[in-house]
Amino acid sequence: MFIRLIAAALCLVLSLADDIKRDDGVLVLNKDNFDSAVKGKNILVEFYAPWCGHCKALAPEYAKAAQKLQEEKSDIELAKVDATEETTLAEKHDVRGYPTIKFFRDGKVIEYTGGRTAEDIIRWLKKKTGPPAIDLATVDAAKAFIDGSEVVIIGFFKDQSSIEAKTYKDVASDMDDFVFGITSDASVMSELKVKEGNIVLFKKFDEGRNEFDQKLTEDGLKKFIKYNSLPLVVEFTHETAQKIFGGDIKAHNLLFISKSSPDFESKVETFRKVAKQFKNKVLFVFINVDEEDHERIMEFFGLKRDEAPTMRLIKLAEEMTKYKPETTETTEDDIRNFVNGVLEGKIKMHLLSEDIPEDWDKEPVKVLVGKNFDEVAFDKSKNVLVEFYAPWCGHCKQLAPIYDQLGQKYKERNDILIAKMDATTNELEHTKIASFPTIKLYKKDTNEVVDYNGERTLEGLTKFIESGGVDGAAFKEEEEDEEEEKDDEQAKRDEL
């Protein structure tokens, strides 16, 4: 009787999944079937918005992962929820950005922290539902394991209960983005030409394998894996972006190049040769300028497609400091000299600036660029109000007519100047703009800079100017709190 009840319950769970509509192998959930679908199952759920670019980029990889797991007859399911339609579900599961992905396992909810490819998704799920390191008992099993992924790590331990093996398994448990194996079999060690106690990273690029040759510690092994798991030269894509910018190496040398150019392969090979000399210090990345999705990053560096091939180096640890080579050539010597020049402090940071428009001061709202900013904003004879804007920013567009009225109001005043600067094409060494629009008052006599935090109305901006930056000023503590909130919100939006 008991066995029949268990069988009936299992059939019910399976039939529930069968009754739910699938889209390319992915279960489509809504408020009516969500709870029954996730109850007692291992199921990954993507909360998405149909208009979200990141969601659209993820969709084919997400479907591929779902189909692959079905082919393997896995008990893991992939599902999705249109959070713009199923607002109650989105609110219940704290969806604040897109895509938000959560793993439901035995009644518990785990935030998804893996990558964006089908392989990344499957690897993360198997790590969460299986042992941290897969036991490889035969040569065939080990070879299949190595062939199955772009990067794998195998620990060779005669005694899998040893302190060293435990340390290895702890690292494997912590690193969701990688596949770990473990073996005690002497024939496997012989076939793969390794000694007992070795840890080897096998990869399908560059030198093919790296052996861990340090004293075994968790931190040491984690760094070894991170440093050796990326190719010497990485292509920037949706799939690799997280690994590039989320890694420990914060200096990146970027080669902007067209993959359709006849010398693409030779240029990248030259780039790769130099990359070897800076391994673990500078990450070498190439960006295909033919991709429409890369227009924003090119804009960030002030580049146009016809300037490729060209390089830029960025230091993420120093407020996104950018560097530009003195030459447009990309020979081995040019690449090497550029990177060394930045690391040795011989090359100054590169700040974007448009040319000064001939009519920059003809309208009531003056137009500032990087080249004339300091001369105008730090004029001690005037209170200078500056709006830092982005052409694509909706809030900036809403502010524009109000700001023009403000300019008209003060156009006859010699002691007050209203100005604006496109902060996407102009940069300042002393001022970093984190959000748009940002409004600052540069006070006369002292050059003190005061941030505006009041209402974006003509009345509010007028009071701010007339009070000398007192009425509507942002307190420093508030600014810091706001920045933390922005960072937290961005982390949630970029959680995939």
CB burial readout 213-236, b (16+ within 10 A) else e: eeebeeeebeebbbbbbbbbbbeb
pLDDT at 11: 46
pLDDT at 18: 54
pLDDT at 302: 87
Q: What are the structural domains of the chain?
A: 22-129 (3.40.30.10), 134-229 (3.40.30.10), 233-344 (3.40.30.10), 366-467 (3.40.30.10)
- 141 closest CA partner among 196, 188, 87, 92: 188
pLDDT at 429: 87
pLDDT at 486: 40
| Total Cβ atoms within 10 A of residue 313 | 23
| Total Cβ atoms within 10 A of residue 483 | 12
Cβ contacts of 71 within 8 Å, gap of 6 or more = none
Helix (H, G, I), strand (E, B) or coil at 19: helix
E-strand stretches of 372-483 = 383-389, 416-422, 438-442, 449-451
Catalytic residue from among 216, 393, 433, 473: 393
Degrees, nearest 5: CA angle 341-343-348? 60
The residue type of 362 is K
How far is residue 181's CA from residue 138's CA, in Å, rounded to a whole number?
Answer: 12
Half-sphere exposure at residue 123, Cβ-oriented, CA atoms within 13 angstroms: 26
pLDDT at 145: 95
**For residues 102 and 112, is the Cβ–Cβ distance under 8 A?**
yes
How far is residue 463's CA from residue 454's CA, in Å, rounded to a whole number?
Answer: 10
How far is residue 126's CA from residue 38's CA, in Å, rounded to a whole number?
Answer: 17
Catalytic residue from among 396, 406, 416, 421: 396
Catalytic residue from among 43, 49, 55, 386: 55
55 as an active site residue: the answer is: yes
How far is residue 484's CA from residue 478's CA, in Å, rounded to a whole number?
Answer: 10
11 as an active site residue: the answer is: no
pLDDT at 14: 44
pLDDT mean for each 10 residues of the chain (496 residues): 44 53 94 91 95 92 96 94 95 93 89 90 90 95 94 96 96 91 97 96 96 95 93 90 85 96 96 95 96 88 91 87 92 96 93 92 95 95 96 94 96 95 92 92 94 94 94 61 39 36
How far is residue 433's CA from residue 421's CA, in Å, rounded to a whole number?
Answer: 11
Say which DSSP state 171 is in: H
Catalytic residue from among 16, 17, 28, 52: 52
| Total Cβ atoms within 10 A of residue 487 | 11
